[in-house]
């Protein structure tokens, strides 16, 4: 299992994400996977919580937008995520 150290922080302290990085243009992981946090690479090892992230997937199952919030206490950029959704229409 892949570990990605220091990708996000909590109050400035680096945390480790577990799972593969999800990238734009790749096929999205199947939602029938038992643990989507691992499939999408957003499980925080130290806290056993999920990182704040947004993924926009098109009708063919291809990832068109990703946003991994670097500081766990920060909200995602919802406007940017909605713009990505609108571009699919």
CATH number where 37 lies: 3.40.30.10
Number of domains in the chain: 1
Terminal alpha carbon distance of the chain = 35
Q: What is the dihedral of CA 55, 61, 63, 67, to 10 degrees?
A: 0
Burial class (CB in 10 A: 0-12, 13-18, 19+), 67: middle
With beta carbons less than 8 A apart as the criterion, state whether 15 and 44 touch. yes
**pLDDT recorded at residue 52:** 92
Structural domain span for residue 18: 3-88
- DSSP code of residue 76: P
**pLDDT recorded at residue 30:** 67
pLDDT, one tens digit for every residue, the chain (89 residues) = 788 888 888 888 888 888 888 888 988 876 554 477 888 888 888 888 889 999 999 999 999 999 999 998 899 999 999 999 999 98
Which tokens sit at 28?
A: 């999205």
With beta carbons less than 8 A apart as the criterion, state whether 46 and 52 touch. no
């Amino acid at each position: 299992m892949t570990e990605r150290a220091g990708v996000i922080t909590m109050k400035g302290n680096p945390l480790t994400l577990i799972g593969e990085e999800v990238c734009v243009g790749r096929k999205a992981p199947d939602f029938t996977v038992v643990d989507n946090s691992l499939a999408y690479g957003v499980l925080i090892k130290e806290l056993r919580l999920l990182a704040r992230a947004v993924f926009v997937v098109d009708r063919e199952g291809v990832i068109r937008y990703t946003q991994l919030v670097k500081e766990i206490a920060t909200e995602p950029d919802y406007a940017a995520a909605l713009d990505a959704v609108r571009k699919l229409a």
